A and B are shown apart, each in its own frame.
Chain A
Amino acid sequence: MRKKSFAVRFKRALIDYRWLHLMLLPGLAYFLLFKYTPMYGIIIAFKNYKGAGGGYAGIASAPWIGFKNFEIFFNSLYCGRVFGNTLFISFLRLLFSFPAPILLALLINEIRKNWFKRTVQTITYMPYFLSWVVVAGLLNTLLSPDMGAVNVLIRSLGGTPVYFLTSKVWFRPILVISEIWKNIGYGSIVYLAAITGIDQEQYEAARVDGATKMQQIVHITLPEISEIVAIMLILQIGRMFDDNFDQIYNLYSPSVYEVSDVFETYVYRNGIQNSKFSYSAAVGLVKSVLALLMIAFSNRASQKLGAQGLF
């Protein structure tokens, strides 16, 4: 009886919502084919898959080898290097790239003339829409040792030219600076919106009491946006293992692998360029699992802070 009523309800739901099912179908098929099928393919990390021409079907028949690929990675020099670079570059981002848009939002908010404010916003959003390929092209032009504008300036001031993009000392600072340049404006949108929502009477009261601009920012604006800052910080920490492949791959070269090689660049070079599919799938899986853990943790934390988050 109960079973039948379920079948009946199921059939009804199928018919009643037929248009909705139909609308959902193409998108759902996309996610199953292009997102979930590759998840099945992860098993090659535990197999010895050579398949140059074997394709996806060859995955199933490849012999199992357990955790061997993981052992090779964890025992190699590259493990420490890739981990270290990923963590260190993320740390630099948290330290410098994260606060930059907050500072910008505070400053933009203090602009009095509306047209000027809008102009600053539009101009600072601009680099966000450029690709890393283009930004790498700009950086190459500005930083090149012989003709680059920066080195021409250094030389005219009597210094020796610096090979910025091939220097182990300079490469990471260039990563951070170029990321700030590209994303500072776009990143400030969220904070500006939060600042705009602050009750203006608080500022008036503070001014009557003789508070300076700095005091107003420190004692009114910052506390008012602290919640959104905390949420964005947690989200940023959750993205710690997102390597910014786009940026690093377009800027790095063998001479700076030591300070710039991260999970995704390592996986790309080994997997695609050297066709070590199983091994690099294993390395990729290590990264994916770490990323998943970080995101799950950060989502928990941001929900505790009362954020609705994405969903």
Chain B
Amino acid sequence: MSGNLTRSEKVFLFFNDVAMVLLCAIMIYPVLFVAGRSVTPDVERALHPLRIIPHSFDWSGYTFIFSTGSNILNSYRTTILRTLVGTSLNIVLTTLMAYPLSKRYYPPRKLITALIVFTMWFSGGLIPSYLLNKSLGLLNSFWVYIFPSAVNAFNMVIMRNFFMQIPDSLEESAKLDGANDLHVFFRIYIPLSTASIATITLFYAVYHWNMWFDAMLYMNRKEWWTMQYTLRMLIDSANVTDVATIGSAMDNIPPAETVRMATIVVATVPILCVYPFLQKYFVKGMLVGSVKG
């Protein structure tokens, strides 16, 4: 097909390729720039504001972040913990719930699905949720990162749609062999759904990794802030030392800009390492979730 291109088509394709290269550069440049700044000594940063790769490297931002007494290290740990615990709970509850709701013969299916879909359209809003979580004793508790976001209605519907695509005959024959619903779920549906579970795992994990709002609302103890919220405070506040350290035992804190840049990198790298490998999954999940042909 590409053998007999007309002249105008070749010109079009050439400029298209150029445009795409430019677009990729625009996507990558800010990230590379910040990564470069994070290892640039303060003086060089001031003298050469556009330089990405420094002449002399300065790793003090990273050594500081990963030293004891650094609140960034602390919040990194919190974020990793919430991502692991939170995502695990998300997956368990979401798949368990999606299964009965995918069964056409299950009597309350329609009613409960409607109840859940309605929460995507209407919510009590910020203030009632805030008051509720406070009354539940979640203020200043790690669990405020876990329970209020235990199931996402959208992800649950995606999972349910995946389950509905699995042929009923598998369940019927297993039941003839004496299997109960739990067996069918764990031995047939879960193994057949690894791709879809990977999809919603990515969605949930990214949610937890990037979440900062609940830390701002509910966590007054800075040792339990999440990574993103600590980063927000680093960007926002003038007193970087207070945000970035616990106690007063630390000396030799690097310049504020170095700490900020390095924290952005540390907060971002894990996601950038993971998402390309899950690309085909979230593309699929996105398509099932948004619009079906």
Contact = CB atoms under 8 A, between A and B. Distances in A.
A209 to B, nearest CB: 12
Interface in B1-49: 1-2, 6, 8-9, 12-13, 16-17, 19-20, 23-24, 26-28, 30-31, 33-34, 37, 45-46, 49
Interface string B142-176: 00000110110100110000000000000000000
B157 to A, nearest CB: 6
B228 A131 contact: yes
A87 B181 CA distance: 49
A268 B33 contact: no
Interface residues of A, number: 100
Contacts of A41: 124, 127-129, 131-132
B93 A149 contact: no
A115 interface: no
Interface stretch (A77-85, A89-97, A167-175, A183-191): A183-191
Given A23-B99, A55-B131, A35 B119 contact: yes
Contacts of A23: 96-97, 99-100, 181-182, 185
B260 to A, nearest CB: 7
B186 to A, nearest CB: 11
Counting chain B CB atoms within 10 Å of each CB, the highest count among A119, A129, A228 belongs to: A129
Contacts of B31: 126, 138
A133 B291 contact: no
Contacts of B271: 129-130
Interface residues of B, number: 97
Contacts, number: 268
A38 B123 CA distance: 7
- Chain A interface mostly helix, strand, loop or mixed? helix
B17 A138 contact: no
Given A24-B112, A228-B291, A44 B127 contact: yes
Q: Which of B17, B124, B272, B275 has the most CB of A within 10 A?
A: B124
Interface of A: 13, 17, 19-21, 23-24, 26-28, 30-31, 34-42, 44, 51, 55-57, 59, 104, 107-108, 110-112, 116, 119-127, 129-131, 133-134, 136-142, 147-149, 152-153, 181, 185-186, 189-190, 193, 197, 204, 207, 212-214, 228, 231-232, 235, 245-246, 250, 264, 267-268, 271-272, 277, 280-281, 284-285, 287-288, 291-292, 295-296, 307-311
13 contacts: A19-B181, A21-B100, A23-B97, A30-B147, A31-B151, A38-B129, A41-B124, A55-B131, A108-B20, A120-B20, A181-B27, A245-B213, A310-B117
Given A23-B99, A250-B232, 14 more contacts: A20-B100, A20-B106, A24-B100, A119-B24, A133-B232, A137-B231, A141-B261, A148-B49, A213-B9, A272-B126, A277-B131, A281-B125, A287-B125, A310-B157
